[in-house]
Amino acid sequence: MLPQDIFPGVTWHHGVSLATILGAAASSAAVIWAVLSTLHERRERKAAQDALQTERREAREAATRVQADRVVAWYESVADDRVKEYDGGAINPRVGRRQTLFVQNHSDAPVFDVNVVMVDDEHRRNEIYRAKVLPPGNIKHDLGIRSDIPDLMIVMYFNDLAGLRWERCDIGHAEIADASLAEADPAV
């Protein structure tokens, strides 16, 4: 059977057979399949590379955070009746609150340029502790006795061994510090 018998009205060149047409179609299908297969393989390879890069980045970030996550500061306020008040020439004791700052470095290495500030509910900052080096271990720092205790938050800034500046408040995780706050005048 000749192609002109299958497709009447189409002009055919002599020597073109149905086998030639089918071979060309099969070759075209094979080329299309190869291109689609290659594109699919590239997408899968790219997805695998992206997943590997994400995994490596997360591992680097976790390794970077190891020391920072082990350094904390907080304060405690305990009732203390040693506050004295003058009332008409007599001394009347009243209950005040003894404030104590706790700073702990649970890592295996020191941290540097430690600055701990108290931030009140009006966002005023008051430096309460500073150290050039904080070795591994615990520090207890007496802040004194006060009768007026505003709502305070402790914020600690420090540099880790890698030289990264960290910020950690007493209710959150360590984060890379905003340089403008970490170096700001504590009286601001």
Q: Dig out the tokens for 39 from the structure.
A: 């594109």
What amino acid is encoded at 145 in this protein?
I
**How far is 79 from 97, CA to CA, in rounded Å?**
4
Predicted local confidence at residue 62, as pLDDT:
72
Q: If you count DSSP H runs as helices and E runs as strands, how many of each does the chain have, helices first?
A: 3, 8
Over 50: is that where the pLDDT of 188 sits? no
Higher per-residue pLDDT: 61 or 159: 159
**How far is 123 from 184, CA to CA, in rounded Å?**
13
Reported confidence tier of residue 179, pLDDT bands at 50, 70, 90: low
pTM value?
0.58
Over pLDDT 90: what percentage of the chain? 34
**How far is 75 from 153, CA to CA, in rounded Å?**
9
Overall residue count recorded for the chain in this entry: 188
Over 70: is that where the pLDDT of 45 sits? yes
Over 80: is that where the pLDDT of 32 sits? yes
Q: Give the chain's radius of gyration (CA, Å).
A: 37
Residue pair 150/137 in contact by the 8 Å Cβ criterion: no
**Side-by-side strand order, sheet with 90-105:** 71-87, 90-105, 137-146
Residue pair 138/112 in contact by the 8 Å Cβ criterion: no
